[in-house]
Amino acid sequence: MTAPAVPPAASPAAPLALLAELTHRCPLRCPYCSNPTALTRPGEELDTAIWARVFQEAAALGCLQVHLSGGEPTARRDILDLVRAASEAGLYTNLITSGVLTGGAKLQALAEAGLDHVQLSVQDAEPASADRIGGYRGGHAKKLEFARLVQASGLPLTLNAVVHRQNLDRLPQLVALALELGAGRLEVAHVQYYGWALANRDALLPTRAQLEAATATVEAARRALKGRLVIDYVVPDYYAKRPKSCMGGWGRQFLAVSPAGRVLPCHAAESLPGFDFPNVRQVSLRWAWEASEAFNRFRGTGWMPAPCRGCERAEIDWGGCRCQAFALAGDAAATDPACALSPHHGVLSLAVEAAVEAGFEFTYREPQKVPG
């Protein structure tokens, strides 16, 4: 491994967390998957030793936690070794999983290896719909059984529900499911539209009425369940007037490493053309974070065009999402169309109108299919 020298300029603050995308392999085929449309082959994945070094470098850089993700991270045969390596590096370990490949013995082994937390994805509260959305027959039942194993193990559990037009009406049942399964946290995450989700946007975008009902459900549940269940709520940008602070700002709080070793400011950044993202096979994680052109290109506010430049929210939303700007405006440096001041803001209304007339069929996440 070569490690170019870090320039003497002031270093950015340390990232809070590392997303370790261990593999793109997954038995589910979710049509909103955040993986890139060009999936990494198993033979191109980082090996155990490189991941162990990455975890050590992440801890030395200042990361406090690592999210072990995929695809499905437990598809890796060395998942126990990877959890152990992350734990020995001093990182808080969170497994982001579909739950369909892990039984009681494996879960116990993961806990003994140092696993601290489990985040389980669910596609719906209704079994048939959940299995249809995930493209995996019997998956929902396996998830429920896995959640009960997590509860019995004593590991803390977060339930992650990605919501959209085809399951949002059952949000009250998803809240009830989180309580039934003993989750301490429920993430109600509206689909974010890039990659596979962008290809399925017409089938996934909720109506405004659905969104307003969901927001009311979340607010009521937060009041009623305070102290029992924490509910995170990520709303869709397509009804926004101002953009979100995507990942806390480009290169400010978060970094990801892809299965092939590319170091990214967010898990979707590989969708952006014109970037030479550094790879942990050639450089250190610190160099990628502090010195690489890819991380510095949209860091801070100096890169911003009007109307972002000089805006009072420039250091609140940090320009919004670069991947969304590219997907909708064709330019990663453009003002995020989620902002009402963007000249491209109208494309969101057009997308919502188109979705109202669309059907419900999906293009599923599959290696041989490239949406576009």
Cα 185 from Cα 221, distance rounded (Å): 12
pLDDT digits (tens, 9 = 90+) for 205-263: 999 999 999 999 999 999 999 999 999 998 888 888 899 888 899 999 999 999 999 99
The verdict on whether residue 30 carries a ligand-binding annotation is yes
Q: Is residue 99 part of a domain?
A: yes
Sign, CA dihedral 98-91-191-71, equals: negative
Which residues constitute the domain of residue 97? 17-239
Q: Is residue 109 part of a domain?
A: yes
Q: Which two tokens stand for residue 214?
A: 């969901």
Q: Is residue 310 part of a domain?
A: no
Residue 288 near residue 263, CB atoms below 8 Å: yes
Order of strands across the sheet that contains 263-264: 230-234, 185-190, 157-163, 117-122, 92-97, 65-69, 17-21, 254-257, 263-264
The verdict on whether residue 33 carries a ligand-binding annotation is yes
Q: Is residue 356 part of a domain?
A: no
Cα 261 from Cα 264, distance rounded (Å): 9
* Per-residue model confidence (pLDDT) at position 372: 42
* Per-residue model confidence (pLDDT) at position 8: 36
Q: Which two tokens stand for residue 310?
A: 């000089």
What is the mean pLDDT of the segment spanning 112-127?
98
Q: Is residue 206 part of a domain?
A: yes
Cα 85 from Cα 327, distance rounded (Å): 37
Backbone conformation region of residue 229, classed left if phi is above 0, alpha if psi is from -120 to 50, else beta: beta
Q: Is residue 53 part of a domain?
A: yes
pLDDT digits (tens, 9 = 90+) for 334-370: 999 999 999 999 998 888 888 877 778 898 887 655 4
Task: Give the count of domains, the chain.
Answer: 1
The verdict on whether residue 26 carries a ligand-binding annotation is yes
Q: Is residue 210 part of a domain?
A: yes
Question: Lowest-confidence range among 13-22, 69-78, 117-126, 241-250?
Answer: 241-250
Question: Lowest-confidence range among 109-118, 136-145, 201-210, 257-266?
Answer: 201-210
Q: Is residue 173 part of a domain?
A: yes
Q: The CATH number of the domain where 140 resides is what?
A: 3.20.20.70
Cα 209 from Cα 298, distance rounded (Å): 35
Cα 334 from Cα 336, distance rounded (Å): 6
Q: Give the model's confidence band at 371: pLDDT under 50 very low, under 70 low, under 90 confident, else very high.
A: very low
Cα 54 from Cα 48, distance rounded (Å): 10
